[in-house]
Amino acid sequence: MSVAQTPFLLAAEGLNKSFQGFQAIRDLSFYLDVGELRTVIGPNGAGKTTFLDLITGRTKPDTGTMLFEDSHDLISMNEYEIYRLGIGRKFQTPTVYTDHTVYENLVLSLAGSRSVWKSLFSKVSPDQKDRIYEILKTIKLQDKADWKGGALAHGQKQWLEIGMLLAQDAKLLLVDEPAAGMTDEETYRTGELLLSLAGKHTIVVIEHDMTFVRQISQGRRVTVLHQGHVLCEGAVDHVQNDERVIEVYLGRKSKH
Ligand SMILES: Nc1ncnc2c1ncn2[C@@H]1O[C@H](COP(=O)(O)OP(=O)(O)OP(=O)(O)O)[C@@H](O)[C@H]1O
């Protein structure tokens, strides 16, 4: 199949990546539709983080193709070019600006606002302000706009970071283990947030917590990675009942 004719937001085909002879990604193909909320699961060392590194240009594959919006060849682009294309990533550990307020964190993330550092407020247009308040509502931090990032609870920092991806205008949000270290209530609220974004945004979530995966997948596709390869893909019930998945992953990691 030619990826050039596909309607996917992201089409990766035949990716391979070795580190010092160890094959972390093995003939990996992955197709993502616009507006999808896709969860990627897999045991430790399955290649999930490496796969995100390949998408964002942090790591280059040895072989394979990767097209964004049918026309942008991600493999020939550097990390910053890929970021400017609209691919945003949230790492597992929150990386908000702790000395800046929640509002300022969002201002600093606005698309094209790299020069805002010196004049944080003067360059914020009324439209941008409206947008920030819209995002604050979405991430349910409207009453924390004046709080310093560092004063937020762990879960709130994660939501702020998701808000920062929205402020960047990311077309594709890559979210690495958003529920890690969260209370059950925070985890549930994170699921609600991601579900509220689905359809309007395209999101890839890497996650281990199967209760959370069930909450956000709700009939959506889940991809199981194993040894750098897609082992199985489908609805959460389908993958959880797949013998190979039970053997390599859920049998060891299931929280049920
Ligand atoms: N820069 C690197 N050099 C050498 N080996 C690496 C490098 N990056 C990843 N690997 C190896 O590739 C494999 C896949 O790692 P990766 O972090 O992508 O897995 P993962 O599915 O994200 O695991 P986890 O769930 O534990 O985060 C691992 O065996 C890891 O040790």
Which strands sit side by side in the sheet containing 10-19, from one edge to the other? Answer: 22-32, 10-19, 63-68, 72-73
Angle (CA) 52-53-59 rounded to 5° is 150
Kindly report, residue by residue over 227-237, the tens digit of the pLDDT: 999 999 999 99
Q: Indicate which residue's Cα is closest to atom 26 of ligand 1.
A: 44
Q: How far is the CA of 78 from the centre of ligand 1 (A)?
A: 21
pLDDT at 6 over 50: no
Q: What is the pLDDT of residue 119?
A: 45
pLDDT at 253 over 80: no
Q: Indicate which residue's Cα is closest to atom 9 of ligand 1.
A: 50
Helical (H) or strand (E) element with 16: strand 10-19
60-64 long-range CB contacts below 8 Å, 24 or more apart? 60/17, 61/15, 61/16, 61/17, 61/25, 62/16, 62/17, 62/18, 63/14, 63/15, 63/16, 64/12, 64/13, 64/14, 64/15, 64/16, 64/28
pLDDT at 107 over 80: yes
pLDDT at 16 over 90: yes
Q: CA separation (Å) from 46 to 19, 217, 232?
A: 14, 20, 13
Confidence of residue 255 (pLDDT cuts 50, 70, 90): very low
Q: Which of 17, 18, 22, 226 has most ligand 1 atoms within 8 Å of its beta carbon, as the pocket-test mutant?
A: 22
Q: Indicate which residue's Cα is closest to atom 30 of ligand 1.
A: 45
Q: What average pLDDT does range 70-85 have in this prediction? A: 95
Q: What average pLDDT does range 122-133 have in this prediction? A: 84
Place of tokens 């790299």: 114
Q: Indicate which residue's Cα is closest to atom 3 of ligand 1.
A: 19
pLDDT at 150 over 90: yes
Q: What is the pLDDT of residue 124?
A: 79
Q: Indicate which residue's Cα is closest to atom 18 of ligand 1.
A: 47
Q: What is the pLDDT of residue 93?
A: 73
Q: Which atom in ligand 1 lies closest to the alpha carbon of residue 47?
A: 18
Q: How far is the CA of 228 from the centre of ligand 1 (A)?
A: 9
Q: What is the pLDDT of residue 4?
A: 46
Confidence of residue 252 (pLDDT cuts 50, 70, 90): low
- Of 231, 227, 158, the closest CA to residue 188 belongs to 158
Mean pLDDT of the chain: 89
Ligand 1 site residues (CB inside 6 A) read 19-20, 22, 24, 42, 44-50
| 88: CB partners within 8 A, 6+ apart | 164, 165, 168, 170, 172, 173, 174
Q: Which of 30, 48, 52, 60 has most ligand 1 atoms within 8 Å of its beta carbon, as the pocket-test mutant?
A: 48
CATH topology of domain 1-86+171-186+199-255: Rossmann fold (3.40.50)
Q: What average pLDDT does range 169-192 have in this prediction? A: 93
Q: How far is the CA of 103 from the centre of ligand 1 (A)?
A: 35
Kindly report, residue by residue over 183-227, the tens digit of the pLDDT: 999 999 999 999 999 999 999 999 989 999 999 998 899 999 999
Bridge-partner residues for 16, per DSSP? 63
- Phi and psi for 105 in degrees, rounded to 5? -55, -40
- Here the ipTM equals 0.95
Q: What average pLDDT does range 51-68 have in this prediction? A: 97
Q: What average pLDDT does range 107-114 have in this prediction? A: 72
Q: What average pLDDT does range 44-53 have in this prediction? A: 95
pLDDT, greater one: 45 or 115 = 45
Q: What average pLDDT does range 75-88 have in this prediction? A: 94
Q: What is the pLDDT of residue 110?
A: 84
Q: Which atom in ligand 1 lies closest to the alpha carbon of residue 228?
A: 14
The domain segmentation of the chain, as residue ranges, is 1-86+171-186+199-255, 93-170
Note the pTM of the prediction, 2 decimals.
Answer: 0.90
Tokens standing for 56?
A: 């964002």
pLDDT at 138 over 50: yes
